[in-house]
Structure 1
């Protein structure tokens, strides 16, 4: 898998001045577009689109300072339709415009070319199981919130605090299957999973029951789920589990992620500092 990812990285380098199709990168990596985006963002720590933008502007910066081409030529070579669009993007990354960079020799930022390699660390193992789950419903309260990669998500905290206790109790009573009890669900996440992009967040239950009219509900088709367990400090343990699933488990197992709600069941200690958690990720068998 890592060898194929590195071939995809080489394809990006060869086509920085052209439109880069995620479908082609996924074909090279022998996986789906959805899983390629998820794997890349987990391994690289940034969305694929952001990496491509930074690489283009890094290469463009070298041409700007060399002074051998006009700024318009450089803009067009790297996929920008005008010097104005190029200048805005250049300034956003480097902190100065290309004209000023050429005149003054200002310090610029560089996005190094990424390559992936396997690093073996320790002898720990991940606890997981694979579950074939029939169709079910998510029932509870839903909100559209921004994505936060690290630390508490203030929008989610405020949303949960705003749900009356009696409503939470009614929701919890509908739970009749795994994962049991109140769960936290992320769904309809933006493809690039950029910080600040939006997702549907659910505070609800997994159930086969019909939803009361005053609660949100959606039907989830039957499918395969990989279920992971962890325990530790909250929320770091849960966020680290998300990272480890995509950086360690998927590259070592014959599965890939597929579109669908990602479900987290957290059981907090009395003081809210420790957690026992399960993470349910929708998966499918990877192509041989």
Structure 2
């Protein structure tokens, strides 16, 4: 299934199963796609995570049921997947800005959330600045944390801030590293990569590494090693201040390159962001996005 049709198919499946207990893994299985890249692409193309889209659609339909007033609040809560009326009312209030009882009296505050329609306009497609490079397998080492697709945009920068404050600031200005962790950070250039990896079996979540290239040796407590196999990588060049340049290219990858590319498809649930040394706010700052790909079968 082509990328654009996969996203459309995902939306169609969600709409047909809004009253069922489904999540991102179920949607990905339906359209035969990596859950990691489906969720990542869905977010870039629609502005919502799959979890958010399902939740918002259910809360909109729940509001319609509240207005009709044929069911009790507890029945509506269970109908749309909430364990208790209290948890339903809390989510309802957060989304619509009023309680179910208040909405019955005044429907003007209802937040309308209709089914999404995907329309792709390909602009540039394969003319993006990228190369496809076959690389031997390599290992990375770094600090890992688990994130949800719902909150990763806010929480990953916080993870980087913690890393810099805890490890990079104490290391700066020293003639040589002190301790095992500082030595590994220095030797392996920890912070050169930001890596997302599919967290198989964890619904709506992925692993994220602040990492560098692993050259062997002891792995300090609190750090992990991950190995990538031999494969081809599509490497997209980004030029400009962070994070805007990376976000712009990421959006183009999912809105233009993947829908319009006749030759390559995603090969693994992972992607790498590479960062050059230097001022990340500079207009000529260089970074890259690496996507694992394989040739499409003709």
What TM-score, normalized by structure 2, do the two folds share? 0.76
Indicate yes or no: 2:291 matched with 1:281: yes
Give the whole-Å Cα distance in 2 for the aligned partners of 1:182 and 1:85.
40
Task: Give 1:260 deviation, angstroms.
Answer: 3.5
Indicate yes or no: 2:110 matched with 1:100: no
Give the whole-Å Cα distance in 1 for the aligned partners of 2:253 and 2:50.
18
- Number of the residue aligned with 1:265: 275
Closer, same or farther in 2 for the Cα pair 1:281/1:102, shift >3 Å? same
Residue deviations 1:99-132 (CA, integer Å, cap 9, x gap): 2211343512122211111113468821222233
Kept after mapping to 2: 8 A contact 1:266/1:276:
yes
* CA RMSD between the two structures: 3.5
Give the whole-Å Cα distance in 1 for the aligned partners of 2:207 and 2:153.
12
Kept after mapping to 2: 8 A contact 1:64/1:71:
yes
Task: Give 1:213 deviation, angstroms.
Answer: 5.3
Kept after mapping to 1: 8 A contact 2:120/2:255:
no
Residue deviations 1:113-152 (CA, integer Å, cap 9, x gap): 111111134688212222333332223x525487653799
What secondary structure does 1:68 align onto?
coil
Indicate yes or no: 2:48 matched with 1:46: yes
Give the whole-Å Cα distance in 1 for the aligned partners of 2:25 and 2:50.
12
Give the whole-Å Cα distance in 2 for the aligned partners of 1:232 and 1:150.
21
- Number of the residue aligned with 1:178: none
Task: Give 1:266 deviation, angstroms.
Answer: 2.7
Task: Give 1:98 deviation, angstroms.
Answer: 0.8
- Number of the residue aligned with 2:216: 210
Residue deviations 1:60-107 (CA, integer Å, cap 9, x gap): 111211223322332233223432232122112112211221134351
Indicate yes or no: 2:228 matched with 1:221: yes
What secondary structure does 1:17 align onto?
coil
Indicate yes or no: 2:153 matched with 1:149: yes
Task: Give 1:237 deviation, angstroms.
Answer: 0.6
After TM superposition, the structure 1 stretch with the greater mean CA deviation from structure 2, 70-79 or 58-67, is 70-79
Gap runs ≥5 in structure 1:
176-180
Gap runs ≥5 in structure 2:
none
Closer, same or farther in 2 for the Cα pair 1:203/1:281, shift >3 Å? same
Task: Give 1:267 deviation, angstroms.
Answer: 4.2
Count residues with an aligned counterpart: 277
Closer, same or farther in 2 for the Cα pair 1:142/1:4, shift >3 Å? closer
Give the whole-Å Cα distance in 2 for the aligned partners of 1:268 and 1:144.
25
Residue deviations 1:187-239 (CA, integer Å, cap 9, x gap): 4577777xxx88533242x24x2135558451413142221112123331122
What TM-score, normalized by structure 1, do the two folds share? 0.78
Give the whole-Å Cα distance in 2 for the aligned partners of 1:229 and 1:251.
19
Kept after mapping to 1: 8 A contact 2:126/2:257:
no
Closer, same or farther in 2 for the Cα pair 1:64/1:43, shift >3 Å? same
- Number of the residue aligned with 1:252: 260
After TM superposition, the structure 1 stretch with the greater mean CA deviation from structure 2, 63-72 or 154-163, is 154-163
